[in-house]
Structure 1
């Protein structure tokens, strides 16, 4: 499997747990809008090595989840803003254009230092 993307969580807003019940989390570079900043995990802005597609694997500290849908601006937002929402509901179509969807599973714990990879 080749590495599509890799990053590390370097910060966390005070309200990141607010979306755990909805089985989702939000990543953003250090330029997150003030209205979102408290709800986001902070990452560095990095490019992808290739396109993010359905069937690839999201790896969070060794916990692997198959990607089931990719929003039409998810990759663009990730590489330009460090912004992406990850939803653990197994959706086959992206209802939010800046999101990726992975298999319906319990969301792993995220913390400062968590490594996020996409492999495909």
Structure 2
């Protein structure tokens, strides 16, 4: 049975955030993000990250669940402090950028306000 190590909800969708989905990425930032950044982000109520994000865990966005295939060097720190990470849906096993988490699975077409964000560990 999976343990929920992180949980929050999407509260706001920036004007340009859905466009990033068409580029295969999704940017999360906690509430209170600077407005110029928030325009490109899915803004969420930031919860407590109970353990580091690691390869092999699962990332849930709404009803979609993804396998985590790589985690950038500063992704955990950025997520804890700012609620900020970039998710890429390409299944890469080496992080492209330090703040990126790579996921395996079909990218969602859209996310809605109220959708849950969870990280699950076995």
Relative to the length of structure 2, the TM-score reads 0.90
The 5 A counterparts of 1:48-67 are 48-67=49-68
CA RMSD of aligned residues (A): 1.4
The 5 A counterparts of 1:26-105 are 26-105=27-106
Residue pair 2:21, 2:107 contacting (<8 A) in 1 also: no
5+ residue gaps, structure 1:
none
- Structure 1 match to 2:17: 16
Q: What secondary structure sits across from 2:7 in the alignment?
A: strand
Count of residues paired in the alignment: 120
Per-residue Cα deviation, 1:20-40 (whole angstroms, up to 9, x for no partner): 221111111233234322111
5+ residue gaps, structure 2:
none
Deviation at 1:64, TM superposition (A): 1.1
- Structure 2 match to 1:111: 112
Residue pair 2:21, 2:109 contacting (<8 A) in 1 also: no
Which contiguous aligned blocks of 4+ residues in structure 1 show a shift greater than 3 angstroms? none
Relative to the length of structure 1, the TM-score reads 0.91
Change (3 A) 1:94 1:62: same
